[in-house]
Amino acid sequence: MLKRYPILACVLALLLAGYLCFALPATARMADADRYAACSINVDDTLKTGFVTPLEVSQECGNIMQWIKTRSRGQVNLREIEQTLRRCDKIESVNVCRLNDNTLRIDVTPMHPVARVFDERGSYYINAQGKRISAEARFHVDVPVVVGHFDSIRPAERLLPLLHYIAADPRLDALVSTVKQDRRGDIIIVPTIRGHVINFGDTTDVADKFNRLRSFYRGVMPVRGWETYDTVAVKWRGQVVATRRDKALPESGLASRVEEFDDIDDVETMISPLHTDSATHV
């Protein structure tokens, strides 16, 4: 009697295996033949960039909102939909899945631009990783403007550390109007304070350069006048070099055309001779 139990167990196991071999493919075929109830598209645009809308996502997928109910689930390739959307330069990430209520869910996170670039090839946005995003006239994002000559050696992405630093400080964000890169690779900042530009050099020692610039603004510009200089350079370590707007002034007498301010952090000792209208040390 006991010997029959192993035989019975083997027979049941074979019957169960046969049932699974038949039932699972049949269930899969029935599921593939079933149709989606709807398509739900969610755009997680926390920064309100307006780059991507649910309608645009649908259009990128061949107007999926319109045809999703007319096709069986087996005809809808979720991986292909994800790959199509990832190729869009305005999309940061995408996830496509089927919900329990038979709804196709598409979650999209748009690119978040940190600057708009104008160069010889036109205009485009870049995100924090330097990926380019095409600029269109129908939308505008309030981000710093970057203008200049960019190439493979000095691309626009090299300005990102500077842009990140500016964006993190509300006072600097309010000060900086435009960031340029000239043909030599020098970074030129156009401040909202009209009358001069700032030659920043490169993106090294960003904090120290802005500290020197603040000291110059506090200690020199109110004394000499905000219209005195057309260029203020902080590109050289430990110095602020200012170029006078009026190049016709003599190099001796009141002031030299190019003035170097060493030890800018100790601005009180530096501005004392300015009250006597004597020449500033070069």
pLDDT digits (tens, 9 = 90+) for 94-151: 999 999 888 999 999 988 888 889 988 788 888 877 888 888 766 777 777 889 888 8
pLDDT in tens, 72-109: 888 889 999 999 999 988 888 899 999 988 899 999 99
pLDDT digits (tens, 9 = 90+) for 160-213: 889 889 888 988 888 888 899 998 899 999 998 888 999 999 999 999 999 999
Query: Any residues with CB less than 8 A from the CB of 172 and at least 6 apart, and which?
Result: 165, 166, 210
Residue 64 carries which side chain, given as an amino acid letter?
A: I
- Alpha-carbon distance of 270 to 48, in angstroms, equals 47
- Which domains are seen in the chain, by residue range? 38-110 (3.10.20), 113-276 (3.40.50.11690)
221 to 12, 247, 254: CA distances (angstroms): 94, 18, 16
The pair of structure tokens assigned to 43 is 């755009």
pTM: 0.60
**CA–CA separation, 174 and 117 (whole Å):** 19
